[in-house]
Amino acid sequence: MRADRLVATLLLLQARGRVTAAEVAAELDVSVATARRDLEALSTAGVPVYSQVGRGGGWSLVGGARTDLTGLTAPEARALFLLAGQSVSPAVRSALRKLTQALPDPFRADAVAAAGAVTADLSRWGEAGRERPAVAHVLEDAVVARRKVSLGYENRAHVLTTRLVDPWGLVDKDGVWYLVAGTEHGRRTFRVDRVTEATVTGLAASRPADLELSREWDRVVEEVEQRRSGVSATVLLAPRLVPVVRSQFGRHCEVLEDADDGRARLRVSAHLALSIAERLAGWGAAVEVVEPEPVRAELARLGAELVERYGP
């Protein structure tokens, strides 16, 4: 994962003093372009990495080579741990624990908080990725500082509310950002692009001692998926079409045993029978819905509407 490489790249810089993108690529078994992007990501995130062009140039840490992290400033340490903390890899988690011990004492609390402030979920909920909202930086600061946030929020019904929340962490779900927070009604999840205003208060935020953001997000996803998959249908189709239908339904598609005629059998789910029918209608006769009847009825209705509108 990328977080693994970022940590490895930083340690390589500390060990060698100066490296080229080609050397990083060879050491980490990635392309030169990938190594260069990782080096630029470290620099953009605030880690003191700079490049020098020309013969004998390369990438270096400000201040020269170091064998530990004690040369990092507090913002630099936080930036590093924010980047690496998005990984769920056990190896990265182990590396972060070791790196924490190399930090100056005043920096450790913020670094540990930063490591658990952000997580990533690469599967989308039907939307393409977007740019990270500017207010996410304010929320990120509140998570690390463990301070309550006064949140202005517009829900799906476009109703504006203001509430005081305990920010637990941010989740990047394929470019759509969410805030996981504690409220007087328990854990709640807020889409960051619906946050109209966020003010960090001086009040200490409450956070469960055993909270791990990635596990908490798994619970959120499970609850949402249960609501989104209330109807299931069994479909038959040519095996070559399986990858495309699976990409349409994502985690709501299960491959079953093949049918006797050689066609693949899938179980697809959505929150409404109409939602399944709308996704399958474009396949025409290439996909057969075996059951349930409500999905078949919706397909028949859609077909009749199309014939009425476009038929001879």
Cα–Cα distance list, 187 to 101, 149, 165, 184, 221 (Å): 32, 14, 10, 8, 13
Q: Which domains are delineated in the chain? A: 2-115 (1.10.10), 121-214 (2.30.30), 229-310 (3.30.70)
The verdict on whether omega for the bond into residue 294 sits within 30 degrees of 0, i.e. cis, is: no
Model confidence at 2, pLDDT cuts 50, 70, 90, reads: low
- Of 71-75, 177-181, 209-213, 279-283, minimum mean pLDDT range: 71-75
- Of 22-36, 185-199, 203-217, 219-233, minimum mean pLDDT range: 219-233
* Token pair 């009749």 in the structure block, residue: 304
Query: Is 22 within 8 Å of 8 (Cβ atoms)?
Result: no
The predicted model gives 164-185 an average pLDDT of: 88
**Higher pLDDT, residue 41 or 310:** 310
Query: Is 274 within 8 Å of 280 (Cβ atoms)?
Result: no
The pLDDT value given to residue 130: 59
For the chain, give the percent of residues with pLDDT over 70: 73
The pLDDT value given to residue 210: 83
Query: Is 180 within 8 Å of 216 (Cβ atoms)?
Result: yes
User: What Rg do the C-alpha atoms of the chain give, in angstroms?
Assistant: 25
For the chain, give the percent of residues with pLDDT over 90: 31
Work out the number of other CB atoms within 10 angstroms of the CB of residue 163.
15
Model confidence at 134, pLDDT cuts 50, 70, 90, reads: confident
Encoded tokens for 212: 């791990």
pLDDT in tens, 59-105: 887 754 343 455 556 566 666 666 656 555 556 556 666 666 555 55
**Higher pLDDT, residue 251 or 207:** 207
The pLDDT value given to residue 175: 75
Task: State which of 54-68, 130-144, 186-200, 210-224 shows the largest mean pLDDT.
Answer: 186-200
The pLDDT value given to residue 237: 94
pLDDT in tens, 219-267: 887 777 776 667 899 999 999 999 999 888 887 888 998 888 999 999 9
DSSP string, 37-72: HHHHHHHHTT--EEEE-STT-EEEETTS--SSSTTS
d(CA 288, CA 120): 36
